Amino acid sequence: MDFLDDYLGGVRARGAVFCRSVVEPPWNVRFTGPVPLGLVTVLTGDAWILMDGSAPEPLRRGEVALVRGGRPFSVADDPATPPQIVIEDETTCHTVGDGPMLDADDLVLGPRTCGLNAEATGTFVVAGYPIRGDVGDRLLRSLPDLAIVRGERDLAPLLGLLAVEILSEEPGQQIVLDRLLDTLLVKALRCWFAHPDSEPPAGYRALADPRVGRVLRALRDDPGRPWTVASMAGEAGLSRAAFSRVFTELVGTPPMTYVTEWRMTLAADLLREKGASVASVARRIGYSDGFAFSNAFKRVRGRSPGALLAEARRS
């Protein structure tokens, strides 16, 4: 496993708010659903992304925008065009402004497609991913409110397939669309984190190092192993001193600090699972007893695992 496997584990387009919109200028479609991570791409024409409190950003055909934080945003032909359609989720949308009020039934033009005119020439797609938990939150914190991936040739084949498939009504169409969106999200994140001015999660770029990357993958595959600096150094094929130096330079934290922080992140999500207990979670992440685990969790997370467990049972 690697970082995106962990961060996007369980996140699939079939669980996303998905909308294909067909539009004709002047147009503005506003999205108000509190979705943690949204993906927007233009299939035909050009558009603008308008986020509350931020400057408008152009979005051209072949580009992908990642919208973080659940803030309302609009996709429009021009920053000056007021909203015409408001979409709350994949079943709730309505018109605003002058003219008769239209709701979801009036605006639905086909499977997961909305608009006022089925013959319109502009087409864009929005998918909202319900990323939850502390592991997924590490990914969200590494993104700006709006990240636009521009000029990436790797995205063109996927966008071409998406544009063709979205117009068909063949058997299994929805599965194909969902998988294309899953792949597009991963590729867009890869492209964004490859930018030198991006700030990927700790350790992401270190995966490219054959020695430290091997250790990071092993940590993720088996977080409960009794890891020490010596065992990690052996995995990397380095002396303890050399490994500690290289790991800290590439990851940004000392090895055992990273191990503890990653285990506590995993623990926070495990404590929210049905039937979890402090002792069972402690064993899964490498602690022989709940007392030592509770002390480490409170030191890193600022609250006891019992408090988080009780909160999860109430929700």
Per residue in 71-87, pLDDT (tens digit) is: 889 999 999 999 988 88
Mean pLDDT across 192-203: 84
Tokens representing residue 226 in the block = 């009794």
> Looking at 124-128, 146-150, 210-214, 254-258, which range is the least confident one?
124-128
- CATH 3.30.420.340 given to domain 205-314: no
Give the three-class secondary structure for 29: strand
Cα–Cα distance, 158 to 188 (Å, whole number)? 11
For residue 70, which of 55, 89, 85 has the smallest C-alpha distance? 89
Q: What is the CATH number of domain 3-194?
A: 2.60.120.280
Number of neighbours of residue 37 by Cβ within 10 angstroms: 23
- Write down the pLDDT at residue 1: 47
Number of neighbours of residue 229 by Cβ within 10 angstroms: 16
pLDDT digit string, tens, across residues 223-271: 999 999 999 999 999 999 999 999 999 998 999 999 999 999 999 989 9
Tokens representing residue 172 in the block = 């299994």
Asked if residues 114 and 19 have their Cβ atoms less than 8 Å apart, the reply is yes
Give the three-class secondary structure for 44: strand
Asked if residues 39 and 177 have their Cβ atoms less than 8 Å apart, the reply is no
Number of neighbours of residue 164 by Cβ within 10 angstroms: 10
Give the three-class secondary structure for 217: helix
Annotated domain spans of the chain: 3-194, 205-314
